[in-house]
Structure 1
């Protein structure tokens, strides 16, 4: 299907319409970019850096996985995600092995606040490792497409030069404008291929070399949690104002898990294991009793009520549902806005019922 140029004038795509896979492009080993379009031809409206949650028809029931959008909102007729299949991955492996052009998938979103729209600045420093480069690709491409003067330093760390995702595309962008500077850091070079860039693990010394004026920049960081922790510590030690540091992760910080969010003995106001709550799933007509220390999502699963979920610790917003009555204690990580909370919405994965609670599901 060829989309007409005037489709950009139509209403934007919403997640009540399935996404159609139109192509799969290999990037590096075990990394693929998947391009989606709306069958209706509607353009996509999102902020660079946001993500979507895909419903994947894996054996045993639908699986929900969250992926950052790697395309730019300045090119709205398609939407891409760039995925890397880890050895223990289920969702990404299914996409690589089974998704074909013409297949349709249900998606939720886009959403997320890890965006330059939320944090406008005159100078940016994008730091990423591995597939954490995907939101940086979207942000950098949008800045380039806008065509105004800019000041962006993009640093990406990879194991080897051959594993750098988007290398050619980003180097092309940087070659066309003066305000976008690209720095690659690798742990080791590829055999029989010279490497003249940075080599080793990203550290304070490299930070000063790649962006001497880092104290003046808005910093965005994305990658594995140990990598982001190292970046945070380096910036903090060097006196960076951490109010200007932003990070994206779909993995819980070390020590945080769905089953042990509280030490209830420390504070009587926290949910108590020996106190029972009762949840009414209104549309399903199901009632479920559970300890106050059990999440709404866990209780729903125990009652056989399906609530879509992704990260399970309050970031992606996939499990957002409306509370009709009652009280919950919610400890989220940015997956819901204050306005949505005001309207009665909660994230089931990180909400703990208090007494009787009625939900619109």
Structure 2
């Protein structure tokens, strides 16, 4: 930290002034000593040379420190402003601009950054316009979407619930055969049946989330999410904490995408997280929609050990966010839960 501090632009300016002072001191001292040796004027003695050089070094050092600090202040402020502008762009706020009065290279870079922000903003509008067009197209192709969704759910039922039910059948038959001869073993197998049945039930409830209507059916985003959470809390032992603004004005496309993202995230939590608490926050800051989803589940390794189904759910949420020109960030570690942050310009 200390090393980074002394490598900042301000200390670079100060070091450059001190370096210039050093070169000037060496040059001036060499010149005075050369005159003393070659011409030996009476007024130029060794003592006067070193007295003059000492006073010069002290005074020039003070001036170098002051001018280096002063001249770097404006430069540092302009660089800090450009850094803040880039951070705003990274967070999806493309309307921020900066303007410098000076006519130099930094002003040219600032103007180019402003142009970049305008182009990114136009791209976001284009993405959202395409999302609107895609939404209209999706409504006309509803039948095809229903068929595709049914096929996907059928695959999930076969891959997960169907196999679990088959395993339940096998374990139940084994427990029945062992009931008279080995009651302790039969008891253990029945307990395994109970655990597997609970897993199958949880998997089925998660899949049923996808059978809900794609659209909010006339409800606002807040009403749709509240109904969804009430239904899930009634059937599962999960405590939801919902924070959403009352007057949240969004267009239909963004509302539908956000609702489907929340459906997908809750489905992942039910199927994989084994969580007991879920925090869901939706706020609108300036012209940006912020969505935060957090659970206290078992977590997973985002880069290495995400399961195939979990990865598919996260991929779907990321794609929906990016279709709206937004950013999608997921953080998770084992035994630390999962955090999802989504920012959507609106």
TM-score class, shorter: under 0.3
- Higher strand proportion, which one? 1
TM-score normalized with structure 2 length:
0.24
Flag the structure with higher helix content. Answer: 2
Q: Which has the larger radius of gyration?
A: 2
After TM superposition, the score normalised by the length of structure 1 is: 0.24
